[in-house]
Amino acid sequence: MPAADEATTYTLRRVQAMLGLSRHIVLGLIAAGFVQPTRGKRNEWRFTFQDLALLRTAHALQAQHLKPRRILASLARLKADLPAELPLSGLRITAVGGDVAVRDRSGRLQSDSGQLLMDFEVGTVAGNVTVLQRPASRKAREADAFELFDRGLALEATDTAAAEAAYLQALLLAPDLEDAYLNLGAMWADAGRYEDLVRLSATALQNCPNSAVLHFNRGVALDHLERLDEAADAYERSLELDPNLADAHYNLAELRKQAGDERGALRHYSAYHRLQR
């Protein structure tokens, strides 16, 4: 298996810290084939963000006090009964009652005697097997996302890994939850995780393109990574959206000064001091 790009993946220990999963569950899911992490330079497991999304499902089941062997056995059995083309990362799994069922267009198909429900439909689109999801209502997803956001906020001072996991879970449910991006970005900036912050900001700005502060945060991360032209562009965009963002004026003035643009630096320094007054 080829070595993974370590800048865009997560270690097993990091995944455990972020999602609160036991090593046994994670390794069991790998063995069952539900996630296929690559190997890093030191032969360690490396997980993608898509892997995190699936592993989060196992975390949710674990939180409902299902035994690890039941989770693993049920997932393995269900995977064996499904077509190979099914994009498993698209599954949404919840614990419901005492049955394991796969819902198709004709109703529910009993799978085994575990305690899981696979909440999706399987259909054919252009000759290929695909998942036709039956998501929760937008209102329900938003309520869950805000609950997770509040949990992350409460945990920031005592357990940063759990807070990070809560924010990531909130964003899976509500990708346009700007405050979750801002809080998570602030945590990563404090930890010096600027590469992660750049990647987070790319996703954030796809969902919240008119957020001046998110553009500013992207600029800060790029600034620290010495990607100065990109940082300047991010600061400029933040100021287009909010001309009163004083810190963006100051940071942009510093970049203009470094580039030898004295007039541009003076203009932004003046704006900064005016706003400070």
What is the per-residue burial (b if ≥16 Cβ within 10 Å, else e) of 46-57? bbbeebbbbbbb
Q: Are residues 204 and 127 in the same domain?
A: no
Q: Counting every residue, how long is the chain?
A: 277
Say if 158 falls within a structural domain: no
Q: Are residues 195 and 266 in the same domain?
A: yes
Q: Are residues 188 and 259 in the same domain?
A: yes
Measure the CA–CA gap between 170 and 181, rounded to whole angstroms.
10
Q: What pLDDT, on a 0 to 100 scale, did the predictor assign at position 134?
A: 45
Say if 102 falls within a structural domain: yes
| Domain span at 74 | 6-133
Measure the CA–CA gap between 126 and 75, rounded to whole angstroms.
27
Could you give phi then psi for residue 171, rounded to 5 degrees? -70, -30
Q: Are residues 23 and 123 in the same domain?
A: yes
CATH of the domain at 114: 1.10.1660.10
Measure the CA–CA gap between 257 and 265, rounded to whole angstroms.
5
Q: Are residues 106 and 207 in the same domain?
A: no
pTM given for the model:
0.53
Say if 14 falls within a structural domain: yes
Say if 204 falls within a structural domain: yes
Q: Are residues 110 and 11 in the same domain?
A: yes
Say if 111 falls within a structural domain: yes
Q: Are residues 65 and 12 in the same domain?
A: yes
Say if 162 falls within a structural domain: no
Q: List pLDDT tens digits, range 36-86.
A: 788 888 888 888 876 776 677 666 666 656 667 766 666 566 555 555 444
Residue ending a domain, among 73, 104, 133, is 133
DSSP H or E stretch at residue 17: helix 12-19
Q: Are residues 128 and 179 in the same domain?
A: no
Q: Are residues 11 and 125 in the same domain?
A: yes
Confidence of residue 88 (pLDDT cuts 50, 70, 90): very low
Measure the CA–CA gap between 185 and 164, rounded to whole angstroms.
10
The mean pLDDT value for 123-141 works out to 47
pLDDT score of 105 more than 70: no
Residue ending a domain, among 107, 133, 159, is 133
Q: Are residues 35 and 127 in the same domain?
A: yes
What's the structural domain count of the chain? 2
Rounded to a whole number of angstroms, the distance between the first and last alpha carbons of the chain is 59
Q: What pLDDT, on a 0 to 100 scale, did the predictor assign at position 41?
A: 83
Instruction: Extract the tokens encoding 49.
Output: 């963000």
Q: Are residues 179 and 128 in the same domain?
A: no
Measure the CA–CA gap between 205 and 218, rounded to whole angstroms.
9
Measure the CA–CA gap between 149 and 166, rounded to whole angstroms.
6
Residue ending a domain, among 102, 133, 164, is 133
Say if 164 falls within a structural domain: no
Say if 142 falls within a structural domain: no
Q: List pLDDT tens digits, range 215-259.
A: 999 999 999 999 999 999 999 999 999 999 999 999 999 999 999
Q: What pLDDT, on a 0 to 100 scale, did the predictor assign at position 96?
A: 42
CATH of the domain at 179: 1.25.40.10
Could you give phi then psi for residue 271, rounded to 5 degrees? -60, -40
Q: Are residues 122 and 241 in the same domain?
A: no
